[in-house]
Amino acid sequence: MRDGFVKVAAGTPKIRVADCDYNAGQIIALMREAAAQGVKVLALPELCVTGYTCGDLFLQPTLLDGAERALGRILEETRELDMLTALGMPVRNEDHKLYNCAAVLLRGELLGLVPKSHIPNYGEFYEGRWFASGRTCNEAVRLCGGWVDLSPRRLFSCSALRELTVGIEICEDLWAAASPAAALAQAGATLMLNLSASDEVAGKADYRRSLVTGQSARCLCAYVYANAGEGESSTDLVFAGHNMIAENGALLAETRLGTGLTVSEIDVQRLSHERRRMNTFAAGADEAVTIYFNLELGDPPLTRPISPTPFIPADRADRAERCEEIFTIAALGLKKRLEHTNASCAVVGLSGGLDSTLAILITAKAFDMLGRNRKGILAVTMPCFGTTRRTRSNAEILAQELGADFLEVNIGAAVERHFSDIGQPMDRQDVTFENAQARERTQVLMDLANQRGGLVIGTGDLSELALGWCTYNGDHMSMYAVNASIPKTLVRHLVAWEAERRGGAIGGVLRDILDTPVSPELLPPKDGEIAQRTEDLVGPYELHDFYLYYAVRWGFPPRKVLRLAAYAFGGQYSRETLLKWLKSFYRRFFSQQFKRSCLPDGPKVGSVALSPRGDWRMPSDVVANLWLDELEGLE
């Protein structure tokens, strides 16, 4: 359970209706299988000790006694298992009421009983015929030779991992408007278990899935849903063992039509961070009694899905919708700014690279929204010492295909004059040599905007801002920065989508831009080719975007970011390479905050942004030693 990861499972044993001893054997076998896989928390279905479909037999003491003996056997034969398990069974109290309960056990000890609060009595469900609602229960019952607590307001918290606190609801509780999960999450539960017996009808699986993922998102929790399956009576219904594991709105694992285990790892540190971050999460809003337990901390290998490109939509099916949404958000922001300032034109420095390409595509969409002629977009290319024929040509073709006005301003002579003024030798290709070109380009853009009553559209992206890979008061500055919250990997994805969608000549030039190495083109070409490749200097953008997502969005410590990167990239990079660029990321991220402290306005389009007025507030002179020291310890 290092780094907050806990292996959890939903299990569906193959049972026989009312054959409690047989069912106990199946449950024990499934528990042992789960423990062998490193599972630390296991949820089994509703009433799985007896079967959900026993009907009026639930009122028979023979069945209830058999269930109690079966629980005793399960407790006895799983004493060696270091795994918290919740399983479903009927439980009677001293007042002759019968409850549909989750029995919670660990290493042969019965920790508590959680009764079902919402008892369905409609359609194919008629639980009200046998079971009482446990909503107001708070008592002790005799079971398996001892007294055990029976209450829905119980939490089970791990002493060795304080972020792991378990709450339980049963089947219909998930469907109810006032679900127990909400109160339990507010009281501290980070993991909800649902013991269910939900039958299959057409379309119900999709609805059930939306409930599980939605509940985990609303409650900022992980959610393990264990459903009844094979062995339940098929007299009128079919149960298919639809099991799910979700975390904060994301489905981590799912099994349809079967028995056995559905296993994944939840990240309780991630959930804890999100609850700290969101002050609208009403922690402690409802009281619950906490029962403490202990588990031996393990370090299971990760199996949950972790994308190496977290900013890019994982589902190809909704790619077009997501890309269109991002373009629309960014264009709407620019549209508003153009309207508010009465700007007559938009000035874009078009280099033939990815970032300026995305910026002009967004600008074109904003002009379309305004019903303006795209000739109001002034695309300016400003060749200098490092410009190649390829990028200059692509810039001109793209402007023509979009219907924008195009202007070339060669800044070489102006930069040389500036070097003469400040005594900078032309053969000294240092930071002054590079930054002077960037600042001259910004001056040209600003003055052209002043001439025409327009706005300079910023082209820098989120990844460059995170690394400080921009010239202060050069390309760092604009009048509205449309790419400011779009990371480099997503820039590439959006331009690729535009190339596929548009096709033709514009699709061709966009594909060539995608194939062009990322470069500021500030150093002279070699044999006509780009000599300065950004990723050779600062590292692969796919790594930096991954680091940015987990270090900033989730606040993970460096050791956890490194672990996730090693898992997500699956051997694509060595540990030494990952660590090298992770150190570079942290050094640059902290040292370059002063550039982010004075950013121009720009629209937020995703969950990560670095605007000093919005998502990220950090002193420019903050000390990074804690993070860098931790990285040094990972050598």
End-to-end, the C-alpha distance of the chain in Å comes to: 22
Three-class SS of residue 39?
coil
CA separation (Å) from 294 to 106, 126, 226, 227, 394? 9, 38, 23, 26, 63
With b meaning 16 or more CB within 10 Å and e meaning fewer, what string describes 533-557? Answer: ebbeebbbbbbbbbbbbbbbbbebb
Q: In what order do the strands lie in the sheet with 455-458?
A: 405-408, 377-381, 346-349, 455-458, 480-481
User: Among all chains, which residue has been given the structure tokens 């009421």?
Assistant: 97
Cα-atom radius of gyration of the chain, to the nearest Å? 30
Cα-to-chain-centroid distance, residue 624? 26
Asked whether 2 and 297 are in contact (CB, 8 A), the reply is yes
Selected catalytic residue, list 20, 48, 101, 171? 171
- CA-to-CA distance for 15 and 87, rounded, in angstroms? 13
DSSP 518: P
Asked whether 189 and 152 are in contact (CB, 8 A), the reply is no
Helix axes 389-402, 504-515, angle to 10 degrees: 150
Nearest alpha carbon to residue 514 among 490, 496, 538: 496
Identity of the amino acid at 607? S
Asked whether 247 and 269 are in contact (CB, 8 A), the reply is no
Nearest alpha carbon to residue 99 among 86, 124, 126, 117: 117
Farthest-apart Cα atoms in the chain, separation: 101
Burial of 495 (0-12, 13-18, 19+ CB in 10 A): buried
Nearest alpha carbon to residue 37 among 244, 265, 229, 259: 265
- CA-to-CA distance for 99 and 138, rounded, in angstroms? 12
Report CA dihedral (171, 217, 329, 473) to the nearest 10 degrees.
Answer: -170
CA separation (Å) from 544 to 95, 401, 417, 488? 63, 33, 37, 9
Residue 609, sorted as left (phi over 0), alpha (psi -120 to 50) or beta, turns out to be: beta
Asked whether 470 and 595 are in contact (CB, 8 A), the reply is yes
Three-class SS of residue 255?
strand
Identity of the amino acid at 377? I
Asked whether 484 and 500 are in contact (CB, 8 A), the reply is no
Three-class SS of residue 376?
helix
Nearest alpha carbon to residue 385 among 516, 531, 515, 536: 531
Selected catalytic residue, list 7, 116, 335, 604? 116
Beta bridge partners of 110: 105
DSSP 285: S
| 296 included as an active-site residue | no
- CA-to-CA distance for 331 and 234, rounded, in angstroms? 55
DSSP 552: I
User: Among all chains, which residue has been given the structure tokens 């509780």?
Assistant: 173
Selected catalytic residue, list 7, 20, 40, 46? 46
| 109 included as an active-site residue | no
| 171 included as an active-site residue | yes
Q: Where are the beta strands (DSSP E) in 450-510?
A: 455-458, 480-481
Beta bridge partners of 289: 154
Q: Report, as residue numbers or ranges, the catalytic residues.
A: 46, 116, 171
